């Protein structure tokens, strides 16, 4: 069991794509807290915690099996510029892997705890029994990463309608990654100034950015809202350094502790990237919004409490992504929740029930 003690929340096989000169052993590291640049960090010792998923090793083994399948898919995307077709087993494995990567990190674990703490304190802040001690305690989940993974598993069908494309970076600037490499964004709702959550899995306009090599990036997106490159081609070529820098800013803004990169990335480049984006970097990971409900009776003091994650607020315009006519005519409704695809929502609900044994198959 000791050999599985070191459990990575960003897989080693994935970080190898960003290793120095492709050696698979060393990788550039920028530690955010210390502001320290490390040219040759040990790749094996990045993005892990001892028994992060538990000592029974069930989750660790599941990830090992999934990673073995997805590594071949990513290899083909990187070397042959090939993406699996939707639907196919390879495509579903890729989507599942990306979704789990989004929810298996230390960042995701800390987000769960922060959400629980802020939600509890918002609900009970007027309760005379506890309001005076709320600031002295922290509410945490016993195993937050398992909670995050369960949420991810239940939400798997919600990504089935997203379009996937491979971005080829032809510039001299390399893509970087972080210890939280899957980034959710929504330029559509950001421009429309939607006041609530914008990057839920079923939000219209959702975009997911996932670098897979210094010159390769996967993007999943709502194709009712955006065009990305040529509509009938799976590959988009990127030839402007500034666009690479904007995509790299996502990695910095979504990071927890470290940025990772290959030998082409310099210390001065990272300092410039951080300095130009630090104003957009959130200190906290979760937010709670309380919306007063319409009082139908004199004594009705209820309200709606919405808990969510802090999202990237930087307005980034990438030239290969354009708004569709459908998006221009889209009317935001009065509801607190926007749903991109109601049929997928029903499917996900049934999927979750079946998976938990509550509905006959």
pLDDT tens per residue, range 107-157: 999 999 999 999 999 988 888 898 889 988 999 988 999 999 999 999 999
Q: Which residues contact 316 (CB under 8 A, 6 or more apart)?
A: 185, 187, 246, 249, 250
Q: Which residues contact 35 (CB under 8 A, 6 or more apart)?
A: none
Domain assignment present for 360: no
Domain assignment present for 285: yes
Domain assignment present for 361: no
Q: Which residues contact 300 (CB under 8 A, 6 or more apart)?
A: 293
Q: How many independent structural domains does the chain possess?
A: 1
Question: DSSP states of 173-211 as a string?
Answer: SPP-EESS--EEE-HHHHHTT-SS---STT-TT-EEEEE
293: which DSSP letter?
P
pLDDT at 295: 54
Locate 302 and state its tokens. 């209820």
Q: Report the distance separating Cα 108 and Cα 115, nearest Å.
A: 10
Domain assignment present for 134: yes
* Host domain of residue 18: 2-355
Give how far Cα 265 sits from Cα of 21, 94, 261, 355, Å: 11, 28, 6, 44
pLDDT at 356: 60
Q: Report the distance separating Cα 326 and Cα 329, nearest Å.
A: 5
Domain assignment present for 346: yes
Least Cα distance to 165 among 204, 206, 217 occurs for 217
Q: Report the distance separating Cα 182 and Cα 193, nearest Å.
A: 23
User: Low-confidence residues of the chain, pLDDT below 50?
Assistant: 1, 297, 357-361
Domain assignment present for 106: yes
What values do phi and psi take at 323, rounded to 5?
Answer: -80, 140
Asked if 103 and 127 count as a contact pair (C-beta separation under 8 A), the reply is no
Domain assignment present for 244: yes
Q: Tokens 């919004």 identify what position?
A: 289
Least Cα distance to 291 among 188, 196, 212 occurs for 196
pLDDT at 337: 79
Domain assignment present for 270: yes
pLDDT at 304: 78
pLDDT digits (tens, 9 = 90+) for 181-198: 999 999 999 999 999 899
Say how many C-beta atoms besides its own lie within 10 A of residue 12's C-beta. Answer: 17
């Amino acid at each position: 069991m000791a050999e599985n003690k070191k459990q990575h929340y960003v897989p080693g096989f994935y970080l190898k794509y960003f290793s120095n000169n492709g050696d698979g052993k060393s990788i550039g590291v920028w530690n955010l807290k210390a502001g320290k640049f490390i040219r040759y960090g040990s790749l094996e010792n990045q993005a892990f915690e001892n028994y992060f998923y538990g000592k029974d090793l069930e989750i660790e083994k599941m990830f090992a099996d999934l990673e073995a399948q997805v590594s071949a898919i990513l290899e083909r995307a990187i070397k042959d510029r090939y993406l699996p077709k939707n639907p196919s087993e390879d495509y579903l494995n890729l989507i599942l892997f990306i979704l789990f990567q989004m929810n298996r990190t230390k960042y995701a674990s800390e987000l769960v705890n922060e959400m629980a703490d802020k939600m509890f304190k918002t609900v009970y802040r007027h309760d005379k029994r506890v309001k005076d001690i709320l600031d002295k305690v922290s509410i945490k989940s016993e195993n937050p990463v398992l909670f995050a993974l369960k949420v991810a598993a239940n939400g798997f069908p919600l990504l089935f309608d997203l379009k996937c494309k491979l971005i080829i970076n032809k510039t001299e600037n390399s893509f970087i990654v972080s210890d939280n490499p899957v980034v959710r964004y929504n330029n559509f709702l950001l421009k429309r100034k939607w006041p609530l959550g914008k990057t839920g899995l079923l939000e219209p306009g959702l975009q997911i950015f996932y670098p897979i090599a210094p010159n390769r990036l996967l993007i999943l997106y709502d194709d009712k809202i955006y065009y990305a490159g040529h509509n009938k081609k799976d590959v988009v070529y990127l030839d402007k350094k500034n666009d690479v820098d904007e995509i790299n800013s996502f990695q910095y803004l979504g990071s927890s502790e470290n940025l990772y990169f290959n030998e082409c990335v310099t210390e001065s480049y990272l300092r410039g990237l951080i300095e130009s984006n630090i104003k957009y970097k959130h200190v906290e990971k979760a937010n709670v919004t309380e919306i007063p409900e319409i009082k139908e009776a004199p004594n009705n003091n209820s309200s709606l409490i919405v808990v969510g994650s802090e999202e990237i607020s930087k307005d980034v315009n990438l030239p290969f992504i354009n708004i569709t006519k459908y998006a221009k005519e889209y009317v935001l409704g009065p509801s607190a929740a926007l749903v991109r695809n109601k049929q997928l929502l029903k499917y996900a609900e049934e999927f979750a029930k079946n998976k938990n044994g509550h509905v006959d198959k």
